[in-house]
Amino acid sequence: MKVTLAAACGFCYGVRRAVELAGQAEKGTHTLGPIIHNPQVVGRLAAHGVSPVDSLDDVDKGAVILIRSHGVGPDVYEQADQKELKVIDATCPHVKKAQQDAKNIVEKGEKLIIVGEKSHPEVISISQWGANRAIIIDREEEAEKIPFCDSMGVVVQTTFSQEQFKRIAAILQRKTNHLDVHMTICTATQQRQQAAIELAGHVDAMIVIGGKNSANTGRLAQVCREQDCPTYHIETAAELDTAWFRGMNHIGITAGASTPDWIIQEVV
């Protein structure tokens, strides 16, 4: 059987940077939430003494806290300052830009629209920088329900589907006299989605590797299925089932931006 790895897959710059910062952190450092949406990486770091906490209330005064790649709202920085915490900021630069864009949109008096998953930590952090005034949507049907307004600004979750965002933005264009679009889907996400789409069109099935709680990995599986390609989303090689591939000759593999190289190689 022929196995082809997508031209772009695995760790992106922001995730690699966050994991490296966590790996260099002193024992006893805490990450605010899991460093990335990959249970295997989180487990490895915890074994080395860098473990996640749910809230700054869970850490002692003066402790070291690492802000993960998804980013946090301004209130978290203020609370960390009050507790005299040493902050290692591993927020992805692309997320930082989306946060700043949301802040600027609100300060200009425009209606803020965030396209992304409402419960995702990155989207929550972007909304908090937009003073929690955003309308958050992730489907065309929701865009259709937004009332008309004179001026509107839109930012998008960095790992969102490009094609779906284009469809939503086209609807928003009809909902305002002025649409200020900030294309904040990061380059790495675009490259990974495009490479997955191209590969899915030439193979009998796709394997998508990454955390089940990883938004960008879920998007990769989504775009592969949209090519009418049988697609299996797994976290590790232990989940592979040879029955999936009976009668097939060519299998494609891709991986989310929070999936480390060693897990990809095990699956290959």
Is residue 235 annotated as part of the catalytic site, yes or no? no
Residue type, 132: N
- How far is it, in rounded angstroms, from Cα 61 to Cα 80? 9
Asked if residue 262 lies in contact with residue 7, where contact means CB atoms within 8 angstroms, the answer is: no
Active-site entry in 110, 117, 122, 235 = 122
Q: Which residues pair with 86 in a beta bridge?
A: 64
7 sits in which H/E element: none
Residue 37: φ, ψ to 5°:
-85, 65
In sequence order, what E strands does the chain have?
Answer: 2-5, 30-32, 51-53, 64-67, 86-89, 111-115, 135-137, 149-156, 176-181, 205-209, 231-234, 250-255
Phi-psi sector, 73: left (phi>0), alpha (psi -120 to 50), beta = beta
| Nearby residues of 145 by Cβ (< 8 Å), 6 or more positions away | none
Enumerate the active-site residues: 122
